[in-house]
Amino acid sequence: MAKKKLLGDIKANPGRYYRLAGDVVRDRRFDDGERLEILKAWASVGEPARADQIAEAIGDIERRLTPRNYAAE
């Protein structure tokens, strides 16, 4: 299966492919941007039981993607 199609299928139904938000974070098939897309799609589905862990995983990835300016230190 092509990566683009797989990503689309996963975003359509993340709970079918992953049990936990941490599984998305550890999935080495995707980069952080793609992982973030998956997690945001999962958050939009509205699974209350997983909402906190999904939000935490989104925050972790967003922090990794945010460039840090250490020149000011």
pLDDT for the residue 39: 97
Contact 43, 54 (CB under 8 A): yes
Taking only the tens place, the pLDDT of each residue in 17-33 is 999 999 999 999 999 99
Taking only the tens place, the pLDDT of each residue in 21-66 is 999 999 999 999 999 999 999 999 888 888 999 999 999 999 998 8
Q: What is the pTM of this model?
A: 0.86
